[in-house]
Amino acid sequence: MTSIAAISSPARRRKLVGAGRRQWIGLLYVAPAVALVVVFFIIPLCMTAWMSLHNWPLMGAHSFIGLDNYWAILRDTRFWNALKFTGYYTVVVTIAIFVVAFPLALFIERPRPLTGFYRTSFFMPAVIGFASASLLWSWLLNVDSGLFSPAAFELGLTEKKVNLLATFQPAFWSIIAMVVWKVAGFTMIILMTGLQSIPPDLQEAAMIDGAGPLARFRAITLPLMRRTLALALILSVAGSVLAFDQFYIILRGGPRNQTLTAVYWIFNQSFVSFKLGYGAALSMVLLVILVALSLIQLRLLRQPEGVD
């Protein structure tokens, strides 16, 4: 650019002005995208903050009430319970996903016959939606017409057909099983990209030095994959904190409202009780938690990764 600017013959300058105008056209190209993001994201985001300071029923006038909604949240034990449950679910499901996805990634990363078939099979549940997967499993988990309890009964494992969705523990672990089934393939692919970015000669050198598979995994694979691990972690944590579909479709928040997640509680407050202002305040709390989590995890991502 500087070399062009240095030559200042009139012809050049005219061309530069033309080029300058051509550059402005770029704004036109990005305008539709910016308009959509502003109308359907930025404005609603600002409105959430604004609404959270109001008593805002679905019908009728809304009134400014300052921070009252936020004070109400402090006393809203059911929201805190929902948040606690969401945190518990996030930790458990993220560990479960990694425990399944990491071995799968190691398994498909090595080329051998049928690898393509294995990879595709593991990944298939990831492309169907959470709603489809939840509907599917709500059938499999049904006590009368489903698969699991009748099969366990037929095999003589249980004395009668057990309703898996009637009590907290079996219901919770059923959801964990379903989510791991659906998401593990996705996490596996992310982890695989990390594994493939490790130079193979590094592993070979370690092998020649006599490092066993476990030592190699700890000294080479894990440290070199930190960025990929952090990314897989971000995606899994963010997805789990926002979990809704499976708890709504399979459990309806039950048994006894024990599986209400944060998003589910916000949904109930906003679109069942129509307390839009209060729902907005709850949303702000969730939003702050999520952005904080992402920022912490992004810091993890930023750290340099030894070899690049």
User: CB of residue 90 vs other proteins: minimum separation in angstroms?
Assistant: 13
Residue 36 touching other proteins (CB under 8 A):
yes
Residue 174 interacting with other proteins (CB under 8 A):
no
Minimum distance, C-beta of residue 4 to other proteins, in the bound complex (Å): 13
23 near other proteins, judged by CB under 8 A = yes
- Give min distance, CB of 20 to other proteins, in A: 9
Binding-site string for other proteins from residue 113 to residue 142, where x marks contact by CB under 8 A and - marks none = -x--xx-xxxxxx-xxxxxx--xxxxxx-x
Residue 55 DSSP SS3: strand
- Interface pattern 1-20 for other proteins (x via CB under 8 A): --------------------
Instruction: Please tell me the distance from the alpha carbon of residue 275 to that of residue 209, in angstroms, as a whole number.
Output: 65
Min dist CB 245 to other proteins, Å, is 5
**CB nearer other proteins, residue 130 or residue 172:** 130
Binding residue for other proteins, selected from 26, 60, 66, 111, defined by CB under 8 A:
26
186 DSSP β-pair partners: none
Question: Of the candidates 2, 6, 11, 27, which one interacts with other proteins according to CB under 8 A?
Answer: 27
From the list 55, 81, 167, 294, which residue makes contact with other proteins (rule: CB under 8 A)?
Answer: 294
Query: Which residues, 6 or more positions from 279, have their beta carbon under 8 angstroms from its beta carbon?
Result: 266, 269, 270, 271
Query: Contact with other proteins (CB under 8 A): which of 83, 220, 237, 276?
Result: 276
By CB under 8 A, name the one of 189, 195, 202, 206 that touches other proteins.
Answer: 189
Separation of alpha carbons 264 and 242, rounded Å: 9
Per-residue binding letters, 43-82, with other proteins (x by CB under 8 A): xxx-xx--x-------------------------------
**Cα gap 39→57, rounded to integer Å:** 23
Residue 64 backbone phi and psi in degrees, to 5 = -75, 125
d(CA 308, CA 42): 36
Smallest separation (angstroms) from other proteins to the CB of 111: 12
- Closest CB 282 distance from other proteins, rounded Å: 8
Pick the stretch among 75-83, 167-175, 191-199, 214-222 that binds other proteins (CB under 8 A). Answer: 191-199
Burial tier of 184 (Cβ tally within 10 Å: 0-12, 13-18, 19+): buried
Candidate residues 146, 171, 251, 260; the one interacting with other proteins per rule CB under 8 A = 146
d(C-alpha 68, C-alpha 171), whole Å = 36
What six digits make up the tokens of 117? Answer: 């078939």
Strand ranges (E), the chain:
54-55, 63-64
CB of 105: closest distance to other proteins in angstroms?
12
Minimum CB distance to other proteins smaller for 138 or for 220: 138
Q: How far is the CB of 243 from other proteins (least distance, A)?
A: 10
Window 207 to 266, contacts with other proteins (CB under 8 A): 228, 231, 238, 242, 244-245, 248-249, 252, 263, 266
Cis peptide before 200 (omega within 30 of 0): no
Contact 236, 94 (CB under 8 A): yes
Provide the terminal-to-terminal Cα distance of the chain, rounded to the nearest Å.
Answer: 30
Q: How far apart are CA 274 and CA 21, in angstroms?
A: 50
DSSP SS3 for 78: helix
